[in-house]
Amino acid sequence: MIFITAKFPVRPEHADRWPEICGGFTKATRAEPGCLWFDWSRSLDDRTEYVLVEAFRDADAGAAHVQSEHFKEARRTLPPYLARTPRIVNATIPQDDWSPLGEMAVS
């Protein structure tokens, strides 16, 4: 799978509304057939930073995502709400779901 984590530094005046601002993009991405997950979290240390954890089935699904109309629209409409360019980690890994965290196994 293609596994991506990105940090989005949102302008302070828009931080509380960020889930609403990117809601259409999130919903459309989650509906893509190759999307495994697309989950936002808000930083506990910096309330203006959102972290996106996303995964796509394979390179073809990742390519379909960046070529989609909703991705192109997000590229046009989301940057004005950001304080800086988001930072990303992108990797291809040989699995298709989350693995259990053995060090914290719950019995």
pLDDT in tens, 43-91: 999 999 999 999 999 999 999 999 999 999 999 999 999 999 999 999 9
Contact call for residues 28 and 68 (beta carbons, < 8 A): yes
Q: Which amino acid is at 84?
A: R
- Can you point out the beta strands (E) in 1-107? 2-9, 35-42, 49-56, 87-92
6-50 residue pLDDT tens: 999 999 999 999 999 999 999 999 999 999 999 999 999 999 999
94 has a pLDDT exceeding 90: yes
For the chain, which domains are there?
Answer: 2-96 (3.30.70.100)
Q: What DSSP string runs through 88-99?
A: EEEEE-S-SSPP
According to the model, what pLDDT value does residue 107 have? 85
In terms of pTM, does the model score above 0.85? Answer: yes
